[in-house]
């Protein structure tokens, strides 16, 4: 199915029959990325009396309980409720549209003399070609398969310079997607500078904006312009496991 849309004064076509999934599947156990010391994902078969929720074990249906920590176990999308006491700040209430023009950018994080590794504003500006996009998707280099089940806790993974998210907010880029555990340093004394800059917390909060973490953008997906479909579970909490899907945009000449 080919659809056409307008962006920044130009027309683009996209084929909805060719989705590019940049989420990571949720598996039982440790075969997921893990950060902030989250417990592993757990699948539990439910049994009661003569009922057993496992076809393999002789039951009629599979019936399981899922235990997951959205922020720590895989691809997830969060709203400003992540850093706010506002009980109305849930992902289900703030993310109310789901299609956005997005730019994919690949960046090699810089290693500082302190040992910290981060993405800087200069790096972002060098790569950014569509400053009017609604969403930015950052793929860090090297882009290796171990990201799919990387155990990040306690390893001070790469993060974003706060000026990066401040710049995105100033340019009305409402959705940020990264393949890292967080936009902020793992242990930062609770400053959360990049989170706060992106949501403009706590001045004029950008309540409609989201951050998606722990994505994986396959190497077959080139940098460039895409239509993003950002799918979540309708959870009344600050974050949800999510499924961002891309569709390549081709300019109509």
Answer yes or no: is 34 within a domain. Answer: no
Percent of the chain residues topping a pLDDT of 70: 100
Q: Note the pLDDT of residue 201.
A: 94
Digit-coded pLDDT (tens) for 175-217? 999 999 999 999 999 999 999 999 999 879 999 999 999 999 9
* CB neighbour list of residue 187: distance below 8 Å, 6 or more residues apart: 156
**Is 155 a member of any domain?**
yes
pLDDT for the residue numbered 131: 84
Quick check: is 56 in a domain?
no
Global pTM reads 0.96
Residue 235 falls within a domain, yes or no? yes
Is 33 contained in some domain?
A: no
Give the whole-angstrom CA distance, residue 201 versus residue 244. Answer: 25
120 within domain boundaries? yes
Residue 214 covered by a domain: yes
For tokens 């396959």, the residue is 218
Instruction: Give the list of residues 6+ apart from residue 85 with CB closer than 8 angstroms, or none.
Output: none
Find the CATH number of the domain harbouring 225: 3.50.30.50
Q: Report how many domains make up the chain.
A: 1
60 falls within a domain: no
User: Residue 138's pLDDT is what?
Assistant: 98
Residues of the chain with pLDDT under 70: none
Domain that residue 244 falls in: 2-25+74-251
Q: Environment class of residue 139 by beta-carbon count within 10 Å: exposed (0-12), middle (13-18) or buried (19+)?
A: buried
Q: Identify the pLDDT of residue 202.
A: 82
């Amino acid at each position: 199915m080919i659809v056409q849309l307008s962006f920044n004064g130009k027309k683009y076509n996209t084929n909805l029959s060719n989705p590019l999934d940049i989420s990571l599947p949720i598996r039982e156990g440790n075969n997921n990325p893990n950060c902030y010391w989250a417990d592993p994902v757990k699948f539990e078969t439910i049994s009661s009396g003569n009922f057993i929720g496992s076809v393999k074990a002789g039951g009629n249906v599979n019936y399981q309980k899922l235990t997951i920590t959205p922020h720590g176990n895989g691809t997830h999308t969060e709203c400003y409720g992540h850093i706010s006491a506002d009980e109305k700040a849930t992902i289900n209430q703030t993310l109310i549209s789901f299609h956005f023009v997005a730019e994919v950018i690949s960046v090699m994080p810089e290693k500082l003399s302190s040992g910290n590794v981060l993405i800087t504003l200069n790096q972002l500006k060098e790569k950014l070609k569509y400053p009017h996009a609604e969403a930015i998707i950052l793929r860090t280099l090297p882009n290796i398969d171990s990201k799919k089940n990387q155990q990040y806790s306690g390893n001070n993974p790469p993060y974003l310079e706060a000026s990066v998210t401040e710049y995105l907010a100033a340019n009305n880029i409402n959705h940020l997607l990264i393949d890292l555990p967080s936009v902020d340093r793992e242990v930062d004394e609770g400053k959360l500078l990049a989170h706060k800059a992106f949501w403009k917390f706590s001045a004029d909060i950008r309540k409609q904006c989201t951050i998606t973490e722990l994505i994986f953008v396959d190497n077959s997906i080139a940098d460039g312009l895409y239509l993003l479909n950002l799918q979540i579970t309708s959870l009344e909490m600050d974050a949800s496991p999510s499924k961002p899907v891309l569709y390549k945009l081709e300019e109509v000449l």
